[in-house]
Structures are given as C-alpha cells and as structure tokens.
Amino acid sequence: MSVPSIPLETQAVPENQEQQYVHEVYNEIASHFSSTRYKPWPIVEKFLSERPDYSIGLDVGCGNGKYLGVNKKLFCIGSDRSDGLIDCARENSEKGFNLAVADGLHLPHEDGRFDFAISIAVIHHFANEQRRVDAIEHILTKLRVGGQLLVYCWALEQEKSRRGYKEGDDQDILIPWVLQKKTPKKTKKRNGS
C-alpha cells in the first residue's frame, strides 16, 4: 500500500511544521518506532568500533539509544528532540546512558568538546535545506579540531526509499508514519505439547 506524500507549505514557519509534523508525531509513536529500531546499521557500528578507546562522542537524534552502547570503550552522550524517544532510550539503557532532550539546532554542549559525533536518519527531518545545513554546521561546532562527524539521511533517489517520490518532485515533503497492525508471532509446537 502506497501512502501519499504531502508537500510542505513553503510560506509556513519551519519550526511550527517540525513541531506539528515531526516532534508531536515522534512523541506519539515513540514506543512503536523504538520497537522497529533495534539493530545498529553496520556502517555506523563500524565507525563507532574504529573510534579510539575513551573517545567522547555525541549522538544527535539518538532515538532509542541503539548506538550508545555499541562500543563500550567510548563515552557517548545521546540527545533527541523527542522526550518520548529519550524515555525509550532510558528504558533500553543497560548502563545508564547520558541522555538529554535537545534540538539538533540548539545543542546544550560546549563547542569543541567532542572527538566525534553521529547523526543517523535525523537531518532530513528539518523542514528545509537551510535548516538542514544549519544543523550540520551546528553539530560541527561541537567537535574538537580533527573531530569526525558521520551523518546519514534518507535518500529519496534510492529505489527502496522512494515511498511515492518521483524524479523531479520537490524533496521537502512529509511522509506520513503508518502504524502497522501487530500480527501475533507464530509459535512452534513443541513435541509432546
């Protein structure tokens, strides 16, 4: 089933669009969304495993915190704009992750303090290109000289990511989140039962 995308209103205040169509939605679906995001992406796992021991990192848009415990020899701080997802990260935290509710454009951390940062599947949630650029630039200010940033975004040009996108369409669109009906898992019958 294809869900139609909705073009963003170009004259609307981007912060208001993000509040209504991103932040409120993620708070509403946080628990369900978290249950679908449990396995780290291999490329991110590789990046984190290659950081020097005891490096200090920042996960901007950490969601349920799935990357915070990938490399136990790192000190990572996770932040997300959704307090619902931060609650999920706290529940998933095996060792009391350092977490904060924070907007990617207004991170509360001192500049130049982090060895690395990641922002995975976050930047595309900002309502326009300038805000996406501003978010990346803001994250970069948090890195020390020589620090590294890994950013991944949803690429509508990729066949599996299109969700109704056609070549030439404006990419500043809203893609509705559709809650899937839970189907009970089939259980195997045991011998003798």
Residue 81 burial (CB count, 10 A): 22
Above 80 in pLDDT, residue 166? no
> What local confidence, expressed as pLDDT, does residue 99 receive?
95
Split at pLDDT 50, 70, 90, the class of 170 is low
Q: Which residue has the tokens 């701080």?
A: 77
- Taking only the tens place, the pLDDT of each residue in 51-74 is 999 999 999 998 888 899 999 999
Closest to 173 in 3D by CA, of 3, 9, 2, 1 = 9
Above 50 in pLDDT, residue 165? yes
Contact between residue 120 and residue 66 where contact means Cβ atoms under 8 Å apart: no
- Taking only the tens place, the pLDDT of each residue in 86-118 is 888 888 776 678 999 999 999 999 999 999 999
Above 60 in pLDDT, residue 3? no
Q: What is the pTM of this model?
A: 0.77
89-109 as b/e: b if 16+ CB within 10 A? beebbeeebebeebbbbebeb
> What local confidence, expressed as pLDDT, does residue 157 receive?
62
Split at pLDDT 50, 70, 90, the class of 128 is confident
Closest to 103 in 3D by CA, of 121, 118, 125 = 125
d(CA 100, CA 80): 7
- Taking only the tens place, the pLDDT of each residue in 4-41 is 455 566 667 878 877 777 767 776 776 766 676 778 98
Q: What domains does the chain contain, in order, with CATH numbers?
A: 6-174 (3.40.50.150)
Between residues 171 and 102, which one has the greater pLDDT? 102
